[in-house]
Structure 1
């Protein structure tokens, strides 16, 4: 293991703590720059070969900036949660318990209603199923039975597989119910017992009350308040008139934390996100724990769709539960949190933050990924 330096920033406003390999100094420096620029708080982790080469955090865990961000501070990572839910499905597929080419109704018979017999499991994972919009009240997302029953009865907006439209809230219920039908466990339980537990990862889908004191609530972008609503960077605001908008105040609520909303309510820190997704970066095994085979990992990277996403309003490439970006894979969450996986480099980079920014203006994740690659280049010299 290379030398790991401890760090503590000199400026109180951008106090960065934790440890990092000397070659990866650019990463804590980049986090410090974000804090100096006004961000409330966040954490960054870089894992190579399943081992941390960066594990740093800084800033504050509250909007009043009175509570320092700690090593074990956790935050809602919004849609980064989708990569965790996808991993659960991929584990089941690797075990032969789930066929991604099978109709969803094979596992969830009620789902065949309203002409959905032709929707395949892989369509759920690749945002091509044709059920992109949550059309119920916000309160119903806290009720698993009601949420899944609503989606089972809903009609499709397009022929499955023919188009992609980001299933921002619905994907988690759809994939999660398939997981539940196969295993008899909620996706949160399955993830805890089969993924986070064996790895020792501090990440949960459905947060018990004893962890509330560790949560850094989301802070809206400048000039916004808790009624700030989720929207896509280039999306057409008129494209989904029946969709229910999720507000920042919803995500900061106790009800949101307690519920299992597997597309958007995962809580963790950068360390836990990078640790879990290192399994995908390292051929299915991390820290001596084998979650799935190399072939099981590679299944996720097979392109399912490439083109304009009807909800995001921009070109995308979708694999099974992950966005494809050249030879890297991952996804980001509303407000800025993200994970990036590079199987060739056996690297996972995770950034989580409570400080939201407008999606069209947010380059923080990319900046931190590039800083991580600086360190990787140093390793190879």
Structure 2
């Protein structure tokens, strides 16, 4: 499968190479200091790849390569949400629909009025709900499980990040509307048409397992500790919709190029410009996200920079319309639609949020500093 972005270089795309060189130097320094074994970074603009580099080790003793697939954690959420955007484009759902319109049993326990918009903007009211591993391979049980979720607060009354539960509901929605496994739908209708089937994977097949980077906890007694729960073939295959996809940095930089370009990539249009404008809009204003402790300016999948003093992951100096998402302790991907620039960074250690937030503010701000006027 041909990768959809033509390789270029920063100067040809009106990107200052000096901040990008500093960005790469910071990544190299963090690896040397033992913050993570390996990483990838990519920057793209106007449909072309300006920078794509890999660093360190994908697994201890195994060098990272351009083909290494990194655990995306919650960057997966935007890819999953895009399947619902596509169904809305096709008239098969409305964002104002109650979830129970499509999954009637979801109405149990007072959830009958929760809308798809509330679900995707983390206002659903069940942030702590758990989906057990038994549901990964039994999607009838998955549907029963999410339908039995109970509310922790009145839907719409708060903004609180749902780390996993909301996007398991999204997966059930996709399957209820399409009659197709959510992983297959995302691969066939989103990723393959964009030419990204080899670079973004939701539900990894056995043949792809050798490409998967391991994910680690920070060093203990001088050694990185593999995370047992994530480094299994069952986790790889599950394609957990809120946090279990895998990708390369260039793949997600390309995905965000599609979003920065108003829904089209390399001649393939998935979404209308109006749809992209809508789903990247700030629906939660400057309300505090109770999980994050700051306003997150939630869209229907990504969050945006906004104009508050503090931002998570997207870079302090980012344009207010910049939007994207992060992966816990390890990664961030974003697009600046005002300049046509996209960015993706992946590492393979689930670092502390203090380190991760500071690291990503530096890396993202360096990428923004490289953007010159066209």
Q: TM-score, normalised by structure 1?
A: 0.84
- Kindly state the Cα deviation for residue 109 of structure 1 after the two structures are TM-superposed: 1.1
1:31 matched to 2:15? The reply is no
For residue 169 of structure 2, what is the aligned residue in structure 1? 174
> What is the aligned counterpart of 2:58 among 58, 61, 76?
61
Which residue number in structure 1 is paired with residue 110 of structure 2?
A: 115
In the TM superposition, residue 119 of structure 1 has moved relative to its aligned partner by: 0.4
SS in 2 for 1:176: helix
Deviation, structure 1 residue 181: 1.5
Contact 2:280/2:302 (<8 A) preserved: yes
Corresponding position: 1:283 with 2:262: yes
1:18-52 deviation line (CA, Å, top 9, x unaligned): xx984643333333233233231010011111211
Please, which of 222, 236, 242 is the counterpart of residue 257 of structure 1? 236
* Aligned-residue offset at 1:275: 0.9
Q: How many pairs align? A: 345
Residues 221-263 of structure 1: CA distance to partner in whole angstroms, max 9, x if unpaired? 12399999xxxxxxxxxxxxxxxxxx93211122111113100
More divergent stretch after superposition (247-256 vs 126-135) = 247-256
Over residues 139-193 of structure 1, what are the superposed CA-to-partner deviations in whole Å (9 max), with x where a residue is unaligned?
A: 4455433233111012222221111221111122111111111222222111111
Contact 2:77 2:242 in 1 (8 A): yes
The aligned residue for residue 14 of structure 1 is: none
Query: What value does the CA root-mean-square deviation take over the aligned residues?
Result: 2.5
Which deviates more, 285-294 or 177-186?
177-186
Separation of aligned partners in 1, 2:78 and 2:350: 20
Instruction: Please say if residues 303 and 325 of structure 2, whose CA atoms lie closer than 8 Å, have aligned partners that are also in contact.
Output: yes
Q: Is residue 32–residue 58 contact of structure 1 (8 Å, CA) maintained in 2?
A: yes
Partner of 2:67: 72
Contact 1:4 1:21 in 2 (8 A): no
1:105 aligned to 2:88? no
1:300 paired with 2:298, answer: no
Q: Does the 8 A contact of 2:9 with 2:49 survive in 1? A: no
Q: CA deviation at 1:314?
A: 3.5
* 1:356 CA displacement: 2.3
Deviations 1:320-367 (A, max 9, x none): 111121221111111221111111111111011112210122223222
Structure 1 residues 2 and 268: CA distance shift in structure 2, 3 A:
closer
Distance, in Å, in 1 between the alignment partners of 2:112 and 2:350 is 39
CA contact (8 A) 1:47 1:53 kept: yes
Distance 1:3 1:258 in 2: 34
The structure 2 residue matched to 1:197, chosen from 187, 192, 213, is 192
**Match in the other structure for 2:361:** 366
CA 1:191–1:375 in structure 2 vs 1: closer, same or farther (change >3 Å)? same
The answer to whether the 8 Å contact 1:188/1:260 transfers is yes
Distance 2:51 2:124 in 1: 38
In the alignment, is the contact (CA less than 8 A) between 1:226 and 1:248 conserved in 2? no
The offset of 1:319, in angstroms, is: 1.1
Check the 8 A contact 1:91/1:296 in 2, yes or no.
no
Counterparts of 1:208 and 1:112, CA distance in 2: 34
3-state SS of paired residue (1:97): coil
Partner of 2:89: 94
State the shift of 1:276 in Å: 1.2
Deviation, structure 1 residue 217: 0.6
Structure 1 residue 277, shift from structure 2 partner: 1.9
Q: Which residue of 2 aligns with 1:4?
A: 9
Partner of 1:249, secondary structure, is coil
- Structure 2, unaligned stretches of length 5 or more? 1-5, 307-320
In 2, the alpha carbon distance for the partners of 1:142 and 1:354 equals 25
Q: Give yes or no for contact 2:8–2:50 (8 Å, CA) kept in 1.
A: no
List aligned pairs for 1:131-170, cutoff 5 A.
Answer: 131-170=126-165
